[in-house]
Amino acid sequence: MSVLIFLDQADGHIRKSSFEAACYGSQLAAQLGVPAETLVIGTVSDDLASLGQYGINTVHTITENSLNQADGQVFTQVIAELVRTINASVVVLSNNMLGKAIAPGLSVLLKAGLVSGAIDLPTTSNGFVVKKNVFGGKAFAHVGITTPLKIITLNPNSFPITKLEAKATVKPFVAIIPPSKVKVVSTKKVEGEVSLSEAEIVISGGRGLKGPENWGLVTDLAKVLGAATACSRPVADINWRPHHEHVGQTGLAIAPNLYVAIGISGAIQHLAGVNRSKTIVVINKDPEAPFFKSADYGIVGDAFEIMPKITEAVKKLKNK
Amino acid sequence: MKILVCISKTPDTTAKVTFTVNNTKFAEEGVQWIINPYDEWYALVRAIELKESGIVSAIHLITLGNADCDPIIRKALALGGDEAIRINADSQDSFYIAAQIAAVAKEGNYDLVLTGKETIDYSGSAIGGMLAALLEWPFISHATHLTLENSQATLVKEIEGGEQTDQVQLPIVVSCQKGMAEQRIPNMKGIMGARTKTLTVREPVAADSFTSFVQFDLPAAKAGVKLVSADHPEELVRLLHEEAKVI
């Protein structure tokens, strides 16, 4: 028995959301009194033994170049094979694009109940119950998994990364790689310097900024804070900003530590994508903007005057 | 070519979320139901576009639920579905639901099954992937574009931090998101025509459930917004640093 954590990598490096999954999985393993094991697929340049600092005992690797860019269903079959080999009782993945492509198929292959988008460790005193957000962040559900084998996908930015001093054992896993039914024609990177779904701080702009030429107000602050940038739906729809920056119900749902909304009124569809943020700041010249009701901090005023002053103040703070 | 579009009934985004039976069940009374937006705006409308372009001959809709689903099925038929199947069962377990759809997809000789990327109520993102595994068909998740040529599909999907273009032979399962199509509003002709389109009610096949909702609760109310004067925006920076400790 063990907890197996699938670690997602990009360009040879383990993703931040995967470190969160590693910490989540190893703490769950400790709770269950079993070892924590991980699987890394593809060629990774990181020191994998150092994954021990996240509480990982064993790292299984499949260093196959062809798997740097594979179809989710191929990963699903490879993970299922490892689960059977090491007799894992829980599989943890990040609830990111790849995790969402893999986990449902894995659930069918292994006849294992899946809870996607977990935000806390399961309670295991009476059954196996996982907490997740439902109804666009308006409620929590506690979902019981009734199968012997369990699969959990963890929402990015929902679990703290903690470190200890330990080394993991790295072991190659010889897997049967099934042929992919999907031919990858091309891939294109579209994200900025900071990944929006993994960002701890997100600075977001709405129609109140009046035009794409004014986006410096958003990007200047984002730059000094090392933050990702986002926008509201109308802004993406009128092409002021790219669609992948759209956060909200039909765009990306995010949960950063700090979300700063500038010139966004806060329609319920927008809130559904951002209300899991830990701290929300709203800057809007309309004191009646509904967003203020969901905010922790707010300034009623003209963003064109306020934003440069905030950016200046942050620069001063950073230089201290 | 035949498409099966999976649709789900969800509470309207503005619906008040409360629970009954010791917080174990969503309180449905007085709730305005809609077609899950990802199923409607992206999966269904893209299917309709493919039919309009002459590539697809029939669009069938499938949902799982009791007769309360019929209004949203009629709306989907009014938008452009040809006929609909309702599995007469009540379940929130993704595996159970996927097993029901798989049974219909297997015997219906479909070339393509479309789902939304997730439902806006339980956000499981699971039906498409489970269905593909049950049918042993390829699965493309989070697709933003889909074109068909003979028996080959070309798709663009969102991947972490970017996008990927894939080619794959039909039949396939695709989960759809923004980019696939634009929202449409049913016209009067569609609404009138939908009344006489076939809606078949079928009893569920035997299937397992892997999960169950034990309890729901509501997040603690926010303390209320702390307003900072527009004359002293630097005070906000101090609060975020010293009080909220987020910068």
pLDDT digits (tens, 9 = 90+) for A12-62: 899 999 999 999 999 999 999 999 999 999 999 999 999 999 999 999 999
B138, B177, B179: residue with CB nearest A182: B138
Helix (H, G, I), strand (E, B) or coil at A253: coil
Q: How confident is the model at residue A68 (pLDDT cuts 50, 70, 90)?
A: confident
Q: Answer whether residue B138 is part of any domain.
A: yes
Q: Is residue B27 part of a domain?
A: yes
Distance to chain B for A104, nearest Cα, Å: 5
Average pLDDT over residues B84-97: 96
In the predicted structure, residue A133 carries a pLDDT above the cut 80: yes
Integer distance in angstroms from the first to the last C-alpha of chain B?
55
Question: Residue A208: exposed, middle, or buried by beta-carbon count in 10 A (0-12, 13-18, 19+)?
Answer: buried
Residue B80's pLDDT is what?
Answer: 97
**Residue B224 counted as domain residue:** no
Which CATH number applies to A201-319? 3.40.50.1220
Whether residues B134 and A108 touch (CB distance < 8 A) is answered with yes
Any CB–CB contact under 8 A between B27 and chain A? Answer: no
Q: Where are the domains of chain A?
A: 3-172, 201-319
Of A73, A145, A279, the CB nearest to B211: A145
pLDDT (0 to 100) of residue A190: 77
Assigned domain for B233 exists: no
Residue B230 lies in a domain: no
Residue A54, phi then psi, degrees to nearest 5: -95, 10
pLDDT single digits (tens) B156-203: 999 988 899 999 999 999 999 999 999 999 999 999 999 999 999 999
CATH number for B109: 3.40.50.620
Q: Could you tell me which residues come within 8 angstroms of residue A189 by beta carbon, excluding any fewer than 6 positions away?
A: B161, B162
Q: Is the pLDDT of residue A193 over 70?
A: no
Give residues 61 to 90 of B whose Cβ lies within 8 Å of A: none
Query: What share of chain A has pLDDT > 90, as a percent?
Result: 91
Q: Which residues of A touch B222 (CB under 8 A)?
A: 293-296
Mutation for A interface: B12, B178, B245, most A CBs within 10 A: B178
- Closest CA in chain A for residue B11: A135
In a domain, B66, yes or no: yes
Do the domains spanning A3-172 and A201-319 agree at the CATH topology level? Answer: yes
Q: Is B11 on the interface with A (CB under 8 A)?
A: yes
With CB atoms and an 8 Å threshold, state whether A138 touches B17: yes
CATH topology (fold) of A3-172? Rossmann fold (3.40.50)
In this structure, the number of other CB atoms found within 10 A of the CB of residue A77 comes to 18
What values do phi and psi take at B26, rounded to 5? -65, 130
Domain count, chain B: 1
Q: Which carries the bigger pLDDT value, residue A4 or residue A67?
A: A4
Q: Is B13 on the interface with A (CB under 8 A)?
A: yes
Cα separation, B226 vs B242, in Å, equals: 14
- Does the distance separating the beta carbons of B178 and A250 come in below 8 Å? yes
pLDDT tier, A192 (very low <50, low <70, confident <90, very high otherwise): low
Residue B63 lies in a domain: yes
DSSP conformation letters of B149-189: ETTEEEEEEEETTEEEEEEEESSEEEEE-TTS-------HH
A278 lies within 8 A of chain B by CB: yes
Average pLDDT, chain B: 96
Q: In chain B, what residues touch A251 (CB-CB under 8 Å)? A: 178
Q: Is the peptide bond before B171 cis (omega within 30 degrees of 0)?
A: yes
pLDDT value for A296: 97
Q: What is the number of other CB atoms lying within 10 angstroms of the CB of residue A318?
A: 11
Residue B27 to residue B218: CA distance in whole angstroms: 13
Residue A266 scores a pLDDT above 90: yes
Rounded average pLDDT over A282-305:
97
Residues of chain A found within 8 Å of residue B168, distances taken between Cβ atoms: 181-183
Chain A within 8 Å of B132 (Cβ-Cβ)?
yes
- Residue A56 Cα, gap to closest chain B Cα (Å): 24
Size of interface A-B (CB pairs under 8 A): 266
Give residue B103's Cα distance to chain centre: 19
Mean pLDDT over B42-49 rounds to 98
The mean pLDDT value of chain A amounts to 95
What is the pLDDT confidence band of residue A216, given thresholds at 50, 70 and 90? Answer: very high
Decide if B126 touches A, using CB distance below 8 A: yes
Range of the domain at B103: 2-217
> Taking CB atoms and an 8 Å limit, are A10 and B141 in contact across chains?
no
User: What is the model's pLDDT at position A320?
Assistant: 84
Q: Are B218 and A139 in contact (CB under 8 A)?
A: yes
Return the residue in B8, B13, B32 with the most chain A beta carbons within 10 A, the one to mutate for interface testing: B13
The answer to whether the CB atoms of A257 and B246 lie below 8 A apart is: yes
B106 part of a folded domain:
yes
Question: What part of A 52-111 touches B (C-beta under 8 Å)?
Answer: 69, 71-73, 76, 95-98, 100-105, 107-109, 111
